[in-house]
Amino acid sequence: MSIDSTWLRCPNCFRDLAAVDERVYGCTAGHRFDRAKHGYLTLLPPRAPRTLGDDREMLAARASLLDGGAYSPISDAVIEAGRVDSTVSSDPSMRIADLACGTGYYSGALARSVPSARLLLADRSPDAVRMSLRSTPDATGIVLDLWSPLPIRDGVVDVALNVFGPRNPAEFARVLAPHGRLVVVVPRPGHLAELRRDGQMLDVPAGKAEQVVNQFAPHGLGLTVSTTIEYALRTDPPMRRLLVGMGPSARHATTSTTTDAGLDQPIDVTISVDILVFGRTTASTG
């Protein structure tokens, strides 16, 4: 595992980062960051919130479900969205940043479809970055706070992915290259509806896609493509437990949920998401 410092800037002073020695990276102002034994850098700003992001149990549930192919139609659509411009997708210097990488499932799939691409894996959870690097060891991994100014240089990202993750519109626009695109995946109101009916999972508000479009517009990113992916996923009780346990609803679920309560037979669960592709329209106003 290695660090490609050409992605990175200091989270303290925003100067470029470079290798000081084999395990230490720093800027000209003297700020220093040690590479973890698992290969990633922690680049949190001063006084960063103490939140840790997804824990190991959530990530393990997600990996088990995703590796089983339950969300492969979404992954296929993300690959298509990331490669829609043949000029960019065939560029041997193509740079893909997964902002809220989780297990690295989606960016790994996109990177495998463009083997020459360089990949940045970024998440608030050290466990997430560590897990993602296992499947894509040639990537650069960083722990960051997505709500803060990102430790990523201006205009270095050709394709940015944000799949079911928090969004920082001003910063996403700043790091995107002039020709780049941002691929955002958000759930629709019907997503996992069968598992939400007893209140054990967080609701998805109506109009989420429109809200996201409005968030990015002031920062010079406009919607270029919108695709809805919707299908019925046949599930048994263990799979339904994974669906609840792999996301933020895991922190709200009780030990007796819709996934178990008398539903020992397979049922269809709705998978419904919007895939939104943004490109640069005007200079950022923010």
Beta strands in 13-124 (DSSP E): 18-19, 24-26, 32-34, 41-42, 95-99, 118-123
Q: What is the largest CA-CA distance in the chain?
A: 62
| Residue 131 near residue 111, CB atoms below 8 Å | no
Facing residues of 121 across strands?
98, 141
The pLDDT value recorded for residue 249 is 59
- Virtual torsion, Cα 114, 120, 123, 128, nearest 10 deg: 60
Q: Residue 77 — left, alpha, or beta (φ > 0 → left; ψ -120 to 50 → alpha)?
A: alpha
Q: What is the DSSP letter of 150?
A: P
CA distances from 51 to 12, 99, 101, 144, 163 (A): 19, 16, 16, 11, 19
| Residue 169 near residue 215, CB atoms below 8 Å | yes
Strand order in the sheet with 24-26: 18-19, 24-26, 32-34
How many angstroms separate the CA atoms of 6 and 9, rounded? 8
The pLDDT averaged over each successive group of 10 residues in the chain (286 residues) is 92 97 95 94 85 83 94 96 61 87 94 92 95 93 96 97 96 97 96 83 87 97 97 95 80 47 78 96 58
Structure tokens at 199: 């209140």
The pLDDT value recorded for residue 264 is 76
The pLDDT value recorded for residue 85 is 56
Written out in words, the top-level CATH class of the domain with range 5-280 is: alpha beta
| Residue 235 near residue 268, CB atoms below 8 Å | yes
Beta strands in 90-217 (DSSP E): 95-99, 118-123, 140-143, 157-163, 176-187
The pLDDT value recorded for residue 258 is 44
The pLDDT value recorded for residue 225 is 95
The pLDDT value recorded for residue 256 is 44
Q: Which pTM value belongs to this model?
A: 0.91
Q: What is the DSSP letter of 285?
A: -
Beta strands in 149-220 (DSSP E): 157-163, 176-187
The pLDDT value recorded for residue 261 is 46
CA distances from 231 to 67, 105, 155, 192 (A): 18, 19, 36, 11
How many angstroms separate the CA atoms of 28 and 8, rounded? 13
| Residue 18 near residue 163, CB atoms below 8 Å | no
